[in-house]
C-alpha cells in the first residue's frame, strides 16, 4: 500500500511531456523488426504448408505457434514500451513512439481477427479457392497484418527528417517493413497479380479463352503497378532514399513471394530493382517537382514490366508467352500512364515551388 503511494508520488515528480511524443531509436526498430520477421517466416511457412498439405490438423500447428507467439511478443514489447514512456512523463495517448500507435492497433486487430477466423471456419466452413482472399475474417487478418508493419516505416521517416540517416543500415528496418507492407497490401490481387500471383501472360497459365488471359494479365499488371509504385512514390514523396533502397525493397518482396509462387519473380524483381534504383538517382523524383515525379512514375513501371515480359520471352519460362507484341508492348506503355498519374497525385498537396515550401 505504502509502496503504491510512494510510487504514485514518484510518478508525479516526473515532468509531464505534454504535446510531445517519443521517437524510437534504430535499436528499438530492429527489435520490433526481428519479431516481425519471425512473424513473416511463420505466416509464409503456414501458407506453404496449406498449399502442400491442405487444412491443418490442429489449431496448434507448428507455424501457427511461431507467428502467434511472435505477434504476442510484438504486443508485449509495445505494451511494455507504453508503460515505460508513461513513467517517463508522456501522456497516455502519446506514450507509444511515433508510428507505433497504429502498429499496436494492428496487433490487437490481428488477435481479434484470428479468433473471428477460427469461429468462422467452424461455423461456415473453410473458404474455397479464391474466397480465401476476400472473406471478411481473412480481410481483417490482412489489414491487421499490414498495420503491424507501419511502425518502423514511420519511425525511419521521422528520424530521417530530424537527423540525416547516412547508411542503408539505418534505413533497413523501415525498408524491410515497407516491402512487407507492400506485399501484404497486394494480397487481395494474388488471383491475377503477375508477380507473386498468377502470371497469366505465361503459356502455363493460359485459360481456355485467350481474351480472358489477356485481360487478366493486363489488369493484373495495372493493379500491381498502382500498388507497388503508388506506395513507393509515397515513400519518395516523404524522404530521399539512398541508393540500393529500391533494390532492397524489391528483393524483399521477391523473397516473400517464393513460398507462395516459387522463385519466378526473383530475377525480375532484383533486375528491375537495380534499374529502378539507377533511374531514381538520375531523375531524383521528389514532392517539390511534379515533372520529376511524373517522369519517374512513367518510366519505372516500364522497366518492371518489360523486364517481366523480356524474361518470359528470352528464357521461355512457363512455356513462354502467348501475348502478341501488340499486347505486351502496348499494355506496358499503359502501365506507365498509371504510374505517371500516380506521380501527379503524389505532388498535389506538396509545396510545388520553393516559395511555397518556405511559407
Partner 1 sequence: MSALIPFLRKWRVIGVCMLIALTAAVVMAQEGDDQSIVDLFTGSFASTRELILFRKTAGPYIVTINGERFVDRAYFEIEATADSEPISADAQVTIHMVPQHNAESRMVSAEIIETPRTYEAVYRDSDGLYVVEMSDIENPGSWMVDISITDAAGTGTTTFTSRIYPRKPDASVWFNIANIAVPITVLLVMLGVYRWRGIRLMSPIEAPVRSASLSASSSI
d(CA 130, CA 139): 12
Q: Is 34 left (phi over 0), alpha (psi -120 to 50) or beta?
A: alpha
Q: Which span (150-158, 181-189, 213-221, 328-336) binds partner 1, by CB under 8 A? A: 150-158
Query: How far lies 195's CA from each of 131, 187, 218, 265, in Å?
Result: 20, 11, 12, 6
What is the DSSP track for 131-197?
GGGTSHHHHHHHHHHHHTTHHHHHHHHHHHHHS---SHHHHHHHHHHHHHHHHHHGGGGTTT-TTTT
112 in contact with partner 1 (CB under 8 A): no
Q: How far is the CB of 307 from partner 1 (least distance, A)?
A: 21
63 in contact with partner 1 (CB under 8 A): yes
- Retrieve residue 95's grid coordinates: 506514450
Residue span 115-144 as binding mask against partner 1, x where in contact by CB under 8 A, dash where not = ---x--xx-xxx-x----------------
Q: How far is the CB of 285 from partner 1 (least distance, A)?
A: 16
23 in contact with partner 1 (CB under 8 A): yes
CB atoms within 10 A of CB 184: 21
Alpha carbon of residue 346 to chain centroid: 18
148 in contact with partner 1 (CB under 8 A): no
Q: How far is the CB of 189 from partner 1 (least distance, A)?
A: 16
Residue number, 98 or 327, with CB nearest to partner 1: 98
Range 79-108, binding partner 1 (CB under 8 A): 80-81, 83-85, 87-88, 94, 97-99, 101-102
- Retrieve residue 75's grid coordinates: 504486443
Q: Which of 194, 233, 238, 277 binds partner 1 (CB under 8 A)?
A: 238
Q: How far is the CB of 226 from partner 1 (least distance, A)?
A: 17
Q: Which of 35, 183, 293, 302 binds partner 1 (CB under 8 A)?
A: 35
How many of the chain's residues bind partner 1 (CB under 8 A)? 76
Residue number, 230 or 336, with CB nearest to partner 1: 230
Residue number, 21 or 290, with CB nearest to partner 1: 21
Whether 251 and 273 have beta carbons less than 8 Å apart is answered as yes
Range 311-330, binding partner 1 (CB under 8 A): 318
Show Cβ contacts of residue 172 under 8 Å, excluding neighbours closer than 6 positions.
Answer: 248
54 in contact with partner 1 (CB under 8 A): yes
240 in contact with partner 1 (CB under 8 A): no
Residue number, 51 or 310, with CB nearest to partner 1: 51
Q: Which span (49-57, 135-143, 240-248, 301-309) binds partner 1, by CB under 8 A? A: 49-57
234 in contact with partner 1 (CB under 8 A): yes
- Retrieve residue 219's grid coordinates: 489488369
Residue number, 135 or 140, with CB nearest to partner 1: 135
CA neighbor of 19 nearest in space, from 91, 101, 100, 86:
91
Residue number, 105 or 337, with CB nearest to partner 1: 105
For residues 146, 151, 157 and 158, what is the CA-based torsion angle, rounded to 10 degrees? 150
180 in contact with partner 1 (CB under 8 A): no
Q: Is 6 left (phi over 0), alpha (psi -120 to 50) or beta?
A: alpha
d(CA 271, CA 277): 10
Residue span 268-307 as binding mask against partner 1, x where in contact by CB under 8 A, dash where not = ----------------------------------------
Amino acid at each position: 500500500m505504502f509502496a503504491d503511494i510512494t510510487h504514485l508520488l514518484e510518478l508525479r515528480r516526473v515532468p509531464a511531456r505534454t504535446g510531445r511524443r517519443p521517437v524510437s531509436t534504430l535499436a528499438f526498430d530492429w527489435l520490433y523488426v526481428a519479431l516481425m520477421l519471425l512473424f513473416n517466416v511463420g505466416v509464409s511457412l503456414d501458407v506453404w504448408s496449406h498449399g502442400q498439405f491442405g487444412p491443418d490438423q490442429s489449431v496448434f500447428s507448428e507455424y501457427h505457434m511461431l507467428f502467434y507467439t511472435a505477434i504476442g511478443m510484438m504486443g508485449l514489447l509495445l505494451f511494455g514500451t507504453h508503460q515505460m514512456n508513461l513513467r517517463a512523463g508522456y501522456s497516455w495517448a502519446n506514450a507509444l513512439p511515433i508510428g507505433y500507435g497504429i502498429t499496436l492497433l494492428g496487433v490487437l486487430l490481428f488477435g481479434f481477427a484470428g479468433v473471428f477466423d477460427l469461429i468462422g471456419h467452424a461455423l461456415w466452413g473453410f473458404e474455397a479457392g479464391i474466397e480465401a482472399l476476400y472473406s471478411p475474417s481473412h480481410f481483417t487478418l490482412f489489414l491487421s497484418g499490414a498495420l503491424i508493419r507501419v511502425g518502423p516505416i514511420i519511425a525511419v521517416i521521422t528520424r530521417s527528417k530530424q537527423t540525416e540517416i547516412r547508411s542503408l543500415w539505418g534505413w533497413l528496418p523501415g525498408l524491410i517493413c515497407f516491402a512487407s507492407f507492400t506485399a501484404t497490401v497486394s494480397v487481395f490481387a494474388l488471383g491475377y497479380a503477375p508477380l507473386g500471383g498468377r502470371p497469366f501472360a505465361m503459356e502455363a497459365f493460359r485459360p481456355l479463352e485467350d481474351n480472358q488471359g489477356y485481360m487478366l494479365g493486363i489488369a493484373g499488371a495495372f493493379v500491381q503497378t498502382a500498388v507497388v509504385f503508388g506506395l513507393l512514390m509515397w515513400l519518395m514523396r516523404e524522404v530521399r532514399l539512398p541508393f540500393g533502397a529500391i533494390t532492397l525493397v524489391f528483393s524483399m518482396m521477391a523473397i516473400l513471394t517464393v513460398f507462395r509462387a516459387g522463385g519466378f519473380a526473383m530475377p525480375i524483381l532484383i533486375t528491375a530493382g537495380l534499374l529502378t534504383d539507377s533511374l531514381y538517382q538520375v531523375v531524383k523524383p521528389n514532392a517539390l517537382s511534379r515533372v520529376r515525379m511524373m517522369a519517374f512514375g512513367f518510366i519505372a513501371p516500364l522497366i518492371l514490366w518489360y523486364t517481366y515480359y523480356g524474361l518470359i520471352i528470352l528464357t521461355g519460362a512457363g512455356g513462354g508467352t502467348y501475348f502478341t507484341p501488340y499486347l505486351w508492348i502496348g499494355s506496358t506503355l499503359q502501365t506507365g500512364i498509371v504510374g505517371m498519374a500516380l506521380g501527379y497525385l503524389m505532388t498535389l498537396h506538396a509545396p510545388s515551388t520553393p516559395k511555397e515550401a518556405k511559407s
